[in-house]
Amino acid sequence: MPLTLRTVACLSDNYAYLIHDPATGATAVVDVPEIAPIEAALTAEGWTLTDILITHHHHDHIGGVDGLRAKTGAKVTGASADAHRLPALDRAVAEGDTITVGGETGHVLDVSGHTMGHIALHFPDSRLVFTADSLMALGCGRLFEGDAPTMWASLSKLAALPPDTLVCSGHEYTAANARFAVTIEPDNAALRTRADTVATARARGEATVPSMLSEELATNPFLRASLPEVKAVLGMPGATDAEAFAEIRHRKDRF
């Protein structure tokens, strides 16, 4: 039986995610921006938290970890590469390691770029990937610590997952990302349609995450940097994929 997913809005524009294995009752939260909305969601579902999974060290993703651990006794898992700047870890993991939530196995991917040591968690049987500030809906995280080739390699790993994977990312940035994306590919019909859908959803106060990987592949300019038509509109027909990605990221930073 696949994991049950709940999206939990936190702080001003963050998302945490609850995943629950109905067979065993095991329940994990991916990132803890703050405690109260996560506790409320657990109570509403009648779930007992067993695991806290951390994607990266930024405060808006870990600010509530120690408090939630103290209240629930949940075990905390995060990247070994980030152990020096994360709350105390019960388990430190790296790419290639697996984690379990009840009967479901998740695979750890290193998706460094936004930060070095940022991990994503892929649950293939449930078709879920938790990407936080690496791959985002119509965007990607800013390059605070990694360079463009590093982030491009990270995004390429995520792009290679099955297209029917649900991308569970860390922020509600999609409307602004859409306004930028159409400046890169004004003639991408799928992008135009998605930008309208996103604007309508936000006008209603609805979340625009999670999103389907197939939709990101069709519309997210940061995943499309390798395409000849995208390099052409950038005026960089001979560029490497990472160079084209770097140019799109640079334009977004100035947008």
Site for Fe ion in 108-137 (CB under 5 A): 133
Closer by beta carbon to Fe ion, 134 or else 165: 134
**Is residue 61 annotated as a catalytic residue, yes or no?**
yes
**Is residue 59 annotated as a catalytic residue, yes or no?**
no
Name the segment binding Zn ion (CB under 5 A); options: 30-38, 57-65, 235-243, 244-252. Answer: 57-65
Which of 20, 31, 51, 56 does the annotation list as catalytic? 56
Number of residues that bind Fe ion (CB under 5 A): 3
Name the segment binding Zn ion (CB under 5 A); options: 70-78, 129-137, 202-210, 224-232. Answer: 129-137
Query: According to CB under 5 A, which one of 21, 60, 82, 185 is a site residue for Fe ion?
Result: 60
Buried b (16+ CB within 10 A) or exposed e, 58-71: bebbbbbbeebbee
**SS3 letters for 101-122?**
ECCEEEEEEECCCCCCCCEEEE
Which of 20, 21, 31, 61 does the annotation list as catalytic? 61
Which of 31, 51, 60, 110 does the annotation list as catalytic? 60
**In the sheet that 4-10 helps form, which strands lie side by side, from edge to edge?**
4-10, 14-20, 27-30, 51-53, 75-79, 91-93
Which of 20, 57, 118, 171 does the annotation list as catalytic? 171
Should residue 172 be labelled a site residue for Zn ion when binding is judged by CB under 5 A? no
**Is residue 56 annotated as a catalytic residue, yes or no?**
yes
**Is residue 171 annotated as a catalytic residue, yes or no?**
yes
Bridge partners (DSSP) listed for residue 78: 92
Closer by beta carbon to Zn ion, 81 or else 234: 81
Should residue 31 be labelled a site residue for Zn ion when binding is judged by CB under 5 A? no
Instruction: Name every residue whose Cβ is closer than 8 Å to that of residue 17 and which is 6 or more positions away in sequence.
Output: 5, 6, 7, 8, 29, 30, 31, 130, 168, 210
Query: Could you tell me the smallest distance in angstroms from the CB atom of residue 183 to Zn ion?
Result: 24
Query: According to CB under 5 A, which one of 51, 110, 133, 216 is a site residue for Zn ion?
Result: 133
Choosing among Zn ion, Fe ion, none, which partner's interface includes residue 241 (Cβ < 5 to 8 Å by kind)? none
Query: Could you tell me the smallest distance in angstroms from the CB atom of residue 187 to Zn ion?
Result: 32
Q: Give helix then strand counts, H and E, for the chain.
A: 9, 14
Choosing among Fe ion, Zn ion, none, which partner's interface includes residue 247 (Cβ < 5 to 8 Å by kind)? none
**Neighbouring C-beta atoms of residue 96, cutoff 10 Å:** 9
Should residue 31 be labelled a site residue for Fe ion when binding is judged by CB under 5 A? no
Q: Residue 118 is encoded by which pair of tokens?
A: 């940022």
Of 73, 77, 105, which is closest to residue 93 (Cα–Cα)? 77
Of 35, 54, 242, which is closest to residue 147 (Cα–Cα)? 242
CA dihedral 204, 209, 212, 218 (to 10 degrees): 70
Cite the active site residues. 56, 58, 60-61, 114, 133, 171
- The site for Zn ion (CB under 5 A) is made up of 58, 133
Footprint on this chain of Fe ion (rule: CB under 5 A): 58, 60, 133
